[in-house]
Amino acid sequence: MSNFSKEIFGGDKKSGKSFLSFIEDRLAKFLLKLVPSWIETYHLTLSTILWSILIVVFGFLAKDNINWLWASSVIILFQYLTDLLDGKIGILRKTGLIRWGYYMDHFLDYIFLCSILIGYSFIITDSFKYLLFFILAFFGAFMVNSYLAFSATNKFKISYLNIGPTEIRIVFIMINTLFIYGRTYALMFLPYILILALVGLCVVVYRTQKYIWKIDMKNRHS
């Protein structure tokens, strides 16, 4: 028997709450009843591949007609719903894909983030495309922090300072809306969003390393 089967894996148990966690829990309970029996957890997880492709396609089309960003926002909503339900469907139906779900779910979350930025690259002028690099760097850093912290503590946390993936998706939908009503508005707000993201990242990393330090010191003295 593999040693992996004997180890306690905490990747399927997310800790931390965001502003919208209470609403999300109630929404998930309602939607679970509507999911057909033939849709499995891995179908929902892998659907992010389709959502990512569509985001890139709609971003390309938005180059000539900015209203295609409405479709991009709808896709962000669809990806949120499938991401909300995939793990819960797996638990409800005892699919058993705990480690696979952890790996694929969060790897595809990163792919989806990249697809959003690729979509923006078609509509942002060259002089502002450097902003996409900073978005990937800062938001990607939050993901890296979560995975490294999980490897050190076996506690998986994706919400920090009461902000989680759901709130980030809302930010992207807001950016899409600003682009539709005028690209100048979106480009004007992006630097402020990046500054807030950088400040939040510094706070999160400081708190995380402090928590892990305490664990090491406690283990040392015991």
Distance (Å, rounded) from C-alpha 22 to C-alpha 43?
26
The secondary structure of 69-106 as a DSSP string is HHHHHHHHHHHHHHHHHHHHHHHHHT---HHHHHHHHH
Residue 1: strand, helix, or coil: coil
Given a contact cutoff of 8 angstroms between Cβ atoms, the answer to whether 69 and 176 are in contact is yes
Class of domain 15-221: mainly alpha
List, for residues 154-187, the tens digit of each pLDDT value. Answer: 888 888 888 999 999 999 999 999 999 887 777 8
How confident is residue 1, by pLDDT bands cut at 50, 70 and 90? very low
Spell out the residues 6+ positions from residue 114 whose beta carbon is closer than 8 angstroms to its own: 52, 136
The amino acid sitting at 48 is T
Domain segments of the chain as ranges = 15-221
Q: Following DSSP, what letter does each residue of 55-76 receive, concatenated? A: HHHHHHHTTT-TTHHHHHHHHH
Is this structure's pTM higher than 0.75? Answer: yes
Paired strand residues for 15? 157
Residues in the chain: 222
CA-to-CA distance for 88 and 66, rounded, in angstroms? Answer: 35
Q: Beta strands 14-15 and 156-157: pairing type? A: parallel
| Backbone conformation region of residue 166, classed left if phi is above 0, alpha if psi is from -120 to 50, else beta | alpha
Q: Read off the pLDDT of residues 52-101 as tens digits, 9 standing for 90 and up.
A: 999 999 999 999 999 999 999 999 999 999 999 998 898 888 888 889 99
